[in-house]
Amino acid sequence: MTREREELGELYRYSGLGLTFAATLGVFALLGHGLDRWIGTGPWGLIVGVFAGFGLGLYSMTKKLPARRPPRGPRDPSA
């Protein structure tokens, strides 16, 4: 039962990360689109908003994910 609860907890955590990423991207895209309509700059506000949302969403996601290190193998005595 404990292993199932751990897997369910991981599922919730990772699905929450995906939703946070999508929400960040969507909010910044909407802000860029609104800026385009207000100032009349064409698609440039939307493009900048999408890239900013993608970058900030990715940054947020990498901060929340645990750092994984590669497994350490036996040491090479010749090195």
53 occurs within a structural domain: yes
* Rounded distance between C-alpha atoms, residue 53 and residue 23, angstroms: 9
Whether residue 25 contacts residue 53, with contact meaning beta carbons closer than 8 Å, is answered with yes
Question: Distance of CA 63 to CAs 36, 56, 57, 60, 75, Å?
Answer: 31, 11, 10, 5, 31
Specify the pLDDT at position 41.
Answer: 87
Per-residue pLDDT, averaged over 52-63, amounts to 92
45 occurs within a structural domain: yes
Specify the pLDDT at position 38.
Answer: 94
**Nearest partner of 56 among 32, 31, 17, 21, judged by Cα:** 21
Specify the pLDDT at position 32.
Answer: 95
74 occurs within a structural domain: no
Q: Is pTM beyond 0.85 here?
A: no
For 6-57, the pLDDT digits (tens) are 777 777 777 888 889 999 999 999 999 999 999 998 899 999 999 999 999 9
Specify the pLDDT at position 52.
Answer: 96
25 occurs within a structural domain: yes
- What letter represents residue 72's amino acid? R
3 occurs within a structural domain: no
* Rounded distance between C-alpha atoms, residue 58 and residue 79, angstroms: 37
